[in-house]
């Protein structure tokens, strides 16, 4: 399994167009090592699957503006259904899951992945800080867990 986060070149960021056609796109942006996001805008006649399989400890946020998708964790056979106008926060210490974007007239999704070593930079002395909770959560063996 590869690491999701070691894709930065000499620059501080890298933009990859995985798909581009008129107003539709799937764009990956590596902002820095440890911080990656996907901007997805699609009009689908059939479901589209994005597979993520690696060993990185991470939290990720899925913001569903329009459309629906499902995240199926292959390690636990857990399936999460994400609906439009909602935001979800996940924790995982190991990934083997599919993100299925359901066919839709207009799907708009933003996904932000944040590696544990990036989160570690912002830890606080207070054990009650949310950032400390997020970091501690992914230090154990967490498959894929919906936190909110």
Q: Which residue has better confidence, 14 or 73?
A: 73
pLDDT, tens digit, 9 for 90 and up, residues 129-142: 999 999 999 998 88
**pTM for this predicted structure:** 0.89
Q: What would the pLDDT profile of 54-63 be if each residue is shown by its tens digit?
A: 888 999 999 9
Average pLDDT of the residues of the chain: 89
pLDDT tens digits, 74-123? 989 999 999 999 999 999 998 889 999 999 889 999 999 999 999 999 99
Q: Specify the pLDDT at position 136.
A: 93
Q: Above 50 in pLDDT, residue 1?
A: no
3-state secondary structure (DSSP) of residue 5: coil
For residue 84, give both structure tokens.
């439009």
pLDDT at 5 over 80: no
**Helix/strand/coil percent split, the chain, to 5:** 10, 55, 35
pLDDT number for residue 2 = 62
What is the distance between the alpha carbons of residues 113 and 101, in angstroms, rounded to a whole number?
17
Residue 68: its H or E element: none
In order of their start, the domains of the chain are: 14-146 (2.60.120.10)
């Amino acid at each position: 399994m590869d690491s999701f986060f070691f894709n930065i070149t000499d620059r501080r960021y890298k933009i990859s167009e995985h798909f581009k056609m008129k107003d539709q796109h799937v764009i990956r942006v590596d902002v820095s090592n440890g911080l990656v996001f996907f901007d997805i805008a699609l009009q689908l006649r059939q479901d589209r699957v994005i597979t993520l399989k690696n060993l990185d400890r991470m939290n990720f946020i899925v913001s569903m503006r329009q459309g629906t998708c499902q995240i199926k964790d292959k390690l636990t056979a857990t399936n999460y259904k994400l609906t439009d106008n909602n935001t979800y926060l996940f924790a995982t210490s190991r990934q083997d899951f599919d993100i299925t974007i359901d066919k839709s007239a207009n799907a708009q999704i933003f996904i932000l992945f944040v590696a544990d070593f990036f989160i570690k930079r912002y830890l606080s002395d207070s054990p009650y800080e949310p950032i400390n909770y997020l970091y501690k959560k992914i230090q154990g063996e967490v498959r894929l867990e919906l936190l909110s």
